[in-house]
Chain A
């Protein structure tokens, strides 16, 4: 049985251990990102792997981005019209839809959708490579596994996320037009005039920067969770990969929202 002293100090010890583990994990993740990013700048390009991941993260996410973008815009159109009709400003619906999408919802929702589709796959694939010693095999072949596995995914994400976000925004604006203007019997030219009038380059660039950062966040966290699956304390082997994939998705979604808040506060 534990001594009373041990019982008293247990919460403090547990807090200390938790804090140390937290700091260690974030330190490891930062170094992981730095190594991956440095490899983009300083090592031989990997064009084939980059194109493969660009196709996987970008082109293959297109359908889900089109679908979610369209319905997000349509909901915004409906809700916006309902709210604006209360104060007789229905003609500003284009402003509401475009600014919400371009500044906020486009980058965030596109990033979350890509996390669910491609981020989870990155974590699972790299996690399986770790538990089946494929990553060790790369090291023994004198191949840097961070450069080989993470760098092309990071670069592909940084390029694909702004493009997917732009498509999400565009389809969303069209969806908003459909429900907030056309279905309500309004003239769509008024809608697009409001979009053009109220959206500035700063708004577009803000959304673009967010998408860039989210691309780096998603690929880093998802690849990191898979890469270090062997260090997890909540399961080994297949169970470890499953919990790493879950953590990757949950943590990435949370970090997207946290990063969104920080970026918004800087970009406002």
Chain B
């Protein structure tokens, strides 16, 4: 494992749920340390599948190479954090926000040991960093969607990861939570962590991210946001020109609905 190895390097990755029906047909990319990258593409492009496949969480994955900091995932497990889609979680679970954030420390605390005072204090600091210290003892099920998403980010941050992989962190999140989350991730990147997030709203890619990966089953482009999200490339990926499509509209509408509620 060399010091200069990229936080994540993927070479010719294919992934899917059924044999010989690949959702992600070919993806190769490497993330630079400290970069913030948006993973964009139309619905069904395989964005979430790619994210899970990289972590070995998709059913079928074939790849020439998937390296974390130059080594395999097992060696880097403690340095990598994954935040699944909020909708993948059953929020009726009996736990406070602080309990959930402390779950980010389970591996570090170690088998057969209890979550002690130190871990709970660390969880409160992480909640503070996402602006939810006042909610530490609230049941997670009673928080708003945006607050739940911030709890998940706090659960990732509490372990001080060097690489953060997020699946739609801004989906169905009110505007205040989105701004807060973006600044938290930005601050994390400024301290050297690398961020890769599946992102739906093409309009806000530029505001939140430095780089973008454009995916539509295969990886179409990877680089600075302005260079990737060109009209020609978007037309190729989405089948239209510009960002006036229905693709971002549902996300925007859902965001407004949440803000109203």
- Are chains A and B native binding partners rather than an unrelated pairing? no
Q: A: which residues have CB within 8 A of B? A: none
Q: B: which residues have CB within 8 A of A? A: none
